[in-house]
Amino acid sequence: MVRISLTVDGAKVSDDVEARTLLVQYLREKLGKTGTVIGCDTSNCGACTVHLNGTSVKSCNVLAVQADGAEVTTIEGLASNGQLHPVQEAFRECHGLQCGFCTPGMIMQSADLLKENPNPSEEEIRLGLEGNLCRCTGYHNIVKAVQHAAAAGGAQ
Amino acid sequence: MTALEDRPDVAQEIGRDRRRKEDARLITGRTRWTDNLTVPGMLHLAMVRSPFAHARITSIDTSAAAEATNVVAVITAADLGESQGACINAWPITPDQVAPVHLPMAVDRVAFAGEIVACVVARSAAEARDAAELVDVEYEELPAVVGLKEAIKDEVLAHPELGTNKSALWVFDSAAAGTGGDVEEAIATARESGVVIEREYRQQRLIPAFMEPRSVVVDPTGEQITIWSATQIPHILRFALAATTGVPESKIRVIAPDVGGGFGGKLQQTPEEMIAFAVARHLDKPVKYTETRSESLVSAHHGRDQIQKLTLAATKDGQVTGLKVELLADLGAYVAIVGGGVPVLGAFMFNAIYKFPAYHFACQTVLTNTTWTDAYRGAGRPEATFAIERLMSELAEELGVDPLEIRERNWIKHDEFPFTTVAGLEYDTGNYELATAKAKEMFGYDELRAEQQRRREAGDTVQLGIGISTFTEMCGLAPSRVLGSLDYGAGGWEHASVRMLATGKVEVVTGASAHGQGHETAFSQIVADRLGVPFEDVEVLHGDTQIAHKGLDTYGSRSLVVGGEALVKATDKVIEKARPVAAHLLEASVEDLEFSAGRFSVKGTDAGISVQELATAVFAAHNLPDGMEPSLDADATYDPINFNYPHGTHLCAMEVDTETGAVSMRKYVCVDDIGNVINPLIVSGQVHGGLVQGIAQALWEEAVYDDAGTLVSGTFTDYLLPTAADTISFEIDHTTTPSITNTLGTKGVGEAGTIASTPAVVNAIVDAVRHLGVDDITMPCTPQRVWRAIQEGGRA
């Protein structure tokens, strides 16, 4: 067991974890942060995407011990002061989700994409979301949602 | 019925782009996926699966696993005995259908790679998985049969004890059924004086690949056994568990909490659910099982997998005179819950939107040592639509006629509805002319044809192709009598309840079970309009057999057209129950009341009372008409009188690099007619997603087995789901020809995009390289296959 201390969605947490524990397992099983989900076992789907020190990562591809000392933001911590993040708002507004399983990862990845590139073209959005799979929407409305969020200042 | 005449004349909610009620929780991570659940004392299961496609189990040594840290039990089929139940085959399509017994956990022989042979129970999922590696199973490999053409030879048998791989032969013949002429006669005549198009098409095997892996939690510690499952079919699962384990149905509660997609893939009574149920009962402890993606790809049922031998007869002026369809369909190792019947759903759709005078359909289903197959978005109908829409384009080419023109010569005209087809279905409404005209204009059909011509003449390296698909489908499964006549094991009705709460709020209970479709929003809109209450005041409940006690769940584009109609009927009953109360409180006669926008009022006066106020008055029950029960709540169970038949015209432009075989989509336009629309935003989402699943069949997806029966495409690195970078934005629109088989005038839409898009894409690719001698490319149309087809065409 290894002792780790980190900040998750603004709260300081500290736990003993097995060295092999994935960040996503730690979030879900130890912290009850079940908003972040697991969709595959080959890091293809991106459903587990979170922000690690402000940058998107697939949390199935990061060991919990690698997040020691870091700041992690999940879908559950993206809204602030009761206000949805512009990307969350845009996904609802543009119907960018159906079953909603890929949505946490899609939103976290989209937020990171807009932070890097506040005014992306459609092609840049599509390339930026290439690591996140969705089976319901055909991506059409997800792309629209990201465009909508960009127009609404989603980069902040 | 007076209620129908009295409904609010101004629809305020229906047709409105309401943002979804579901989204608030889904965009913030406040979700209730089955795998999120933890029950006190819950143990975790890991499955031990066969690596061999066909083998005898000679021994299972569980001792090392049993001694591993925090392992509670290691369970084999011998431990469970009859308590494990069996997976049901609910659609034995012929009386003599050959079907192996399908036990959730194999006893002495496995019939596909991935079949479960043992199960480890431990305190954590990780410990269970670790210990599963320690279970030592000795196998004696048996020859495996993989692929339809091998299986049909009956040389290697998937199940030796059955003596054959052939499961059932199902035949429809229009001459025998009295719905049309003799197809052999039509073909013979066409061979002499017309044209005959003969093709063999392959419907590759696909994997539904819902995003949420399947998960099940079983808690046997209460008075009832509670099962949470990522399923499309909580009600059918409850029935199936009771029917096959002997546990009374009244002692089983099934809850489908948030479910992350299904597409038919979660329309199953799965071995994993059965094993979790049996193990929980065996240990008298709550258990959870969540599959990994790799397990999902090898064990959740697959879809499609047919070889279609097709013969189309026509006159020289392009009138089709007959269609003969001979199918081979791969069931996999076992006959799944409705797997046997999936090709039969397609049998009624090969004639599509056309007036064919003669039709013959025969399907031979076959067992192989592969993962079982069953419903996948469209279930039988995409296969049929692909075949006929490819054939119509081939016929057009043969006769030198525009492919839209050949369709128009054969389709049912809008003034010919209702129309009884050669397959015996009565299409209620449709307007193929209108949808096609609109699609052509949006697409810029004539301009693109001109560009295609220019590029062909210039010998461009990258060629342009235009593909067409004018589809229809039967949806709204299904009239129970029809299902009975097809030997399906259940009915096709749906149930709804409307409960008026004391505060005037409304609880709606539906037997449909959403997993992404937006029932909570769309059903709220229906009730809000009909009952005249605010959208926000309606709460839609579903997916729990204790709350929604009756239902037949969600598949086959049925929730709105069947479940929505049940809801309309229940709502109308509430209004009728409220009417005498309103008359009593307003001191008027019932005849003098009118109901509009949620309010009963006395004609010609200002006096009135709202249905929400009446709910409070009925709750108090202080002043009701004599003898009236103090309740406005109502139930309705609706059995559809017919299917309904959405249709549409899909036009696709593909660019094909003739040197590399790489293809890319330039434009996709579709104009669908799905009747009246409750929520256009939700409908457009369904269409977009459906399109991409159909396009994915044309271009990318294929479940591939090697000769030994190992699934080669067993992870998301090998099974190619499209990403945002692979796809484009679509141009979609609608025409509105209301269905006359339901009050709301709606038609199903969930499967439409998937059914229509596959042939549109393949037609476009073939059209781009037709002049190079290509008349078919096997799906998925990978660069390699396209390049090879061009080389074999010999004109490059």
- Length of chain B (residues): 796
Residues 7-46 on A with a CB inside 8 Å of B are 18, 25, 28, 33-42, 44-45
Inter-chain touch B29–A41, beta carbons under 8 Å? no
Whether B9 has a pLDDT exceeding 70, the answer reads: no
Residue B418 to residues B55, B107, B176, B269, B351: CA-CA distances in angstroms? Answer: 54, 53, 23, 38, 16
Inter-chain touch B33–A142, beta carbons under 8 Å? no
From A145's Cα to the closest Cα of chain B, the distance in A is 12
Read off the tokens for A63.
Answer: 């060991």
From CA B424, how far away is CA B443, in angstroms rounded?
34
Tally Cβ neighbours within 10 Å of residue B776. 15
Q: Which of B23, B30, B261 lies closest to A135 in CB terms? A: B261
From B724's Cα to the closest Cα of chain A, the distance in A is 5
pLDDT tens for B642-685 read: 999 999 999 999 999 999 999 999 999 999 999 999 999 999 99
From A47's Cα to the closest Cα of chain B, the distance in A is 9
Whether B8 has a pLDDT exceeding 50, the answer reads: no
From CA B341, how far away is CA B339, in angstroms rounded?
5
Read off the tokens for B138.
Answer: 């000795």
Q: Answer whether B674's CB lies under 8 Å from B683's CB.
A: yes
Read off the tokens for B119.
Answer: 């199960």
Pairing assessment for the beta strands A71-73 and B215-219 based on DSSP bridges: unpaired
Q: Which of A47, A131, A138 lies closest to B727 in CB terms? A: A138
Q: Which of A125, A129, A135 lies closest to B211 in CB terms? A: A135
Would an 8 Å CB–CB cutoff place A47 in contact with chain B?
yes
Sign, Cα dihedral of B777, B783, B788, B790: positive
Would an 8 Å CB–CB cutoff place A65 in contact with chain B?
no
B-chain residues within 8 Å CB-CB of A88? 27-28
Q: Which of B211, B684, B691 lies closest to A134 in CB terms? A: B211
Residue of B nearest to A140 (CA): B729
Inter-chain touch A136–B261, beta carbons under 8 Å? yes
Sign, Cα dihedral of B696, B698, B700, B703: positive
Q: Which of A40, A92, A129 lies closest to B716 in CB terms? A: A40
Inter-chain touch B36–A28, beta carbons under 8 Å? yes
> Count of CB contacts below 8 A, A vs B?
177
Give start and end residues of each alpha helix (H) in B59-181: 63-66, 77-80, 125-132, 148-151, 174-177
Pairing assessment for the beta strands A71-73 and A2-8 based on DSSP bridges: parallel
pLDDT tier for residue B499 given thresholds of 50, 70 and 90: very high
Mutation target for A interface from B25, B26, B700: give the one with most A CBs within 10 A: B26
Q: Answer whether B335's CB lies under 8 Å from B99's CB.
A: yes
Mutation target for B interface from A20, A83, A98: give the one with most B CBs within 10 A: A98
From A156's Cα to the closest Cα of chain B, the distance in A is 18
Inter-chain touch A98–B517, beta carbons under 8 Å? yes
Pairing assessment for the beta strands B494-500 and B109-110 based on DSSP bridges: unpaired
Q: What integer is the mean pLDDT of B335-340?
A: 97
* Mean pLDDT for all residues in chain B: 96
Q: CB-based contacts of A58: which residues, under 8 Å, 6+ apart?
A: A43, A46, A48, A49, A105, A131
Q: Identify the pLDDT of residue A153.
A: 82
DSSP B718-746: TS----GGG----EEEEE----SSSTT-B
pLDDT tier for residue B796 given thresholds of 50, 70 and 90: confident
Strand, coil or helix: B662: coil
Please give the backbone phi and psi of residue A24, each rounded to the nearest 5 degrees, phi first.
Answer: -65, -35
Read off the tokens for B642.
Answer: 């017919």
Inter-chain touch A88–B688, beta carbons under 8 Å? no
Residue of B nearest to A21 (CA): B126
Residue B361 to residues B135, B327, B350: CA-CA distances in angstroms? Answer: 48, 8, 9
From CA B647, how far away is CA B432, in angstroms rounded?
7
pTM of the model as a whole: 0.97
Sign, Cα dihedral of A98, A102, A108, A110: negative
pLDDT tens for B61-100 read: 999 999 999 999 999 999 999 999 999 999 999 999 999 9
DSSP, res B29: T
Q: Identify the pLDDT of residue A156.
A: 59
pLDDT tens for B148-205 read: 999 999 999 999 999 999 999 999 999 999 999 999 999 999 999 999 999 999 999 9
Inter-chain touch B688–A33, beta carbons under 8 Å? no
Unique residue bearing structure tokens 């037609």: B763
A-chain residues within 8 Å CB-CB of B749? none
Whether B214 has a pLDDT exceeding 90, the answer reads: yes
Q: Identify the pLDDT of residue B630.
A: 97
Residue of B nearest to A107 (CA): B27
Q: What integer is the mean pLDDT of B347-371?
A: 98
Inter-chain touch A135–B213, beta carbons under 8 Å? no
Q: CB-based contacts of A48: which residues, under 8 Å, 6+ apart?
A: A24, A36, A37, A38, A39, A58, A59, A60, A104, A105
Inter-chain touch A34–B22, beta carbons under 8 Å? no
Q: Identify the pLDDT of residue B1.
A: 32
Would an 8 Å CB–CB cutoff place A148 in contact with chain B?
no
| Percent of chain B residues topping a pLDDT of 70 | 99
pLDDT tens for A131-141 read: 999 999 999 99
Tally Cβ neighbours within 10 Å of residue B191. 11
Please give the backbone phi and psi of residue B406, each rounded to the nearest 5 degrees, phi first.
Answer: -65, -35
Q: Which of A74, A139, A144 lies closest to B29 in CB terms? A: A74
Q: Answer whether B666's CB lies under 8 Å from B464's CB.
A: yes
Q: Which residues pair with B310 in a beta bridge?
A: B199, B325
Q: Answer whether A128's CB lies under 8 Å from A120's CB.
A: yes
| Percent of chain B residues topping a pLDDT of 90 | 97
From CA B561, how far away is CA B566, in angstroms rounded?
9
Reading phi first (left if > 0) and then psi (alpha if -120 to 50, else beta), residue B71 is in beta
| Of B531, B639, B526, the residue nearest B577 (C-alpha) | B531
The identity of residue A109, as a single letter, is Q
Whether B5 has a pLDDT exceeding 90, the answer reads: no
From A5's Cα to the closest Cα of chain B, the distance in A is 22
Whether B391 has a pLDDT exceeding 50, the answer reads: yes
B-chain residues within 8 Å CB-CB of A74? 29
Q: Answer whether B286's CB lies under 8 Å from B43's CB.
A: yes
Q: Answer whether B233's CB lies under 8 Å from B266's CB.
A: yes
A-chain residues within 8 Å CB-CB of B518? 98
Q: Identify the pLDDT of residue A155.
A: 64
Q: Which of A45, A76, A126 lies closest to B724 in CB terms? A: A126
Q: Kindly tell me the burial class for residue B455, based on how many C-beta atoms sit within 10 Å of its own C-beta (0-12, 13-18, 19 or more).
A: middle
Q: Answer whether B567's CB lies under 8 Å from B527's CB.
A: yes
Whether B2 has a pLDDT exceeding 60, the answer reads: no
DSSP A42-88: SS-S-TTEEEETTEEEETTSSBGGGGTT-EEE-GGGSSBTTBPPHHH
Residues 79-118 on A with a CB inside 8 Å of B are 79, 84, 88, 91-93, 95, 97-104, 107
Q: Is the peptide bond before B640 cis (omega within 30 degrees of 0)?
A: no
From CA A50, how far away is CA A134, in angstroms rounded?
17
Describe the strand order of the beta sheet including B195-206 as a list of residue ranges: B166-173, B359-367, B320-332, B303-314, B195-206
Q: Which of B211, B716, B724 lies closest to A130 in CB terms? A: B724
Give start and end residues of each alpha helix (H) in B284-368: 293-299, 342-347
Would an 8 Å CB–CB cutoff place A141 in contact with chain B?
yes
Q: Which residues pair with B287 in a beta bridge?
A: B43, B218
pLDDT tier for residue B4 given thresholds of 50, 70 and 90: very low
pLDDT tens for B711-733 read: 999 999 999 999 999 999 999 99
